[in-house]
Amino acid sequence: MKPFVSFCVVCIGLFLSLALPGSPALADTYVIDAAHSSVTFKVRHMMVSKVRGSFDRFEGWFTYDPEAVPATWRSAAVIDAASINTANERRDAHLRSPDFFEVDTYPTLKFAGTGVEKSEDGAMALVGDLTLHGVTKPVRLDLELGGTVVDPGGKTRAGFTAAGEINRKDFGIVWSKSIETGGLVVGEEVEIQIEVEGIRE
């Protein structure tokens, strides 16, 4: 596997870019605890079922303060594309190939969260830019906050769940085959669910 992009270089760079003069003050910063977090997805197969998968290596941070305006919260993550895991080695090798993620050319996925929107009914959405397969597009994910807690070691932890859907063709991942009864072998819509737990710096 090619070396994973350095967490320090990428995340500190993103942090500085979001903290330019004139930007709102950032809340407390949390580093993602990968052992208690997950990045998973589901995509339709043969139009009759959904295949589940995950990315097993990722790093990132987020800012959070329940007293601060959600629009000022920020987040960033870098995901190792080669760590894709659908519990099938042959399928995973195909997903890493030029037909799909083309990991030799595009070794990482990146997310830069630009804030959180809150509607009048209290529903929240995480908004930001997702870079996948060399293409950057805005995304919007439904957000559920888990709050904060102090663990037995005295560290403050915060967590959230983000979920939504993207179309893989929007990011240049267009491979598929038609089936005789109609439809595609691999669906175009991909459901994403992210479970994050972070430790306050």
> What are the chain's domains?
7-200 (2.40.128.110)
pLDDT of residue 17: 41
Mean pLDDT, the chain, rounded, equals 86
Using the predicted structure, report yes or no on whether residue 161 has a pLDDT greater than 90.
yes
Using the predicted structure, report yes or no on whether residue 13 has a pLDDT greater than 80.
no
Using the predicted structure, report yes or no on whether residue 27 has a pLDDT greater than 50.
yes
Q: Grade residue 178 by pLDDT with cuts at 50, 70 and 90.
A: low
What predicted TM-score, i.e. pTM, was given to this entire model?
A: 0.83
Query: How many Å apart are CA 94 and CA 85, to the nearest integer?
Result: 11
pLDDT of residue 158: 97
pLDDT of residue 32: 98
**Residue 47: other Cβ atoms inside 10 A:** 13
Using the predicted structure, report yes or no on whether residue 77 has a pLDDT greater than 80.
yes
Using the predicted structure, report yes or no on whether residue 29 has a pLDDT greater than 90.
yes
Using the predicted structure, report yes or no on whether residue 22 has a pLDDT greater than 50.
no
pLDDT of residue 95: 94
Using the predicted structure, report yes or no on whether residue 23 has a pLDDT greater than 90.
no
Give the CA distances from residue 96 to residues 38, 55, 83, in Å, rounded to whole numbers and listed in that order.
Answer: 19, 12, 9
Q: Grade residue 67 by pLDDT with cuts at 50, 70 and 90.
A: confident
Using the predicted structure, report yes or no on whether residue 176 has a pLDDT greater than 90.
no
Q: Give buried/exposed letters for 64-92 (b at 16+ CB in 10 A, else e).
A: bbeeeebebbbbbbbbbbbbbbbeeeebb
From 91-100, 163-172, 182-191, the region with the lowest mean pLDDT: 182-191
**Residue 24: other Cβ atoms inside 10 A:** 14
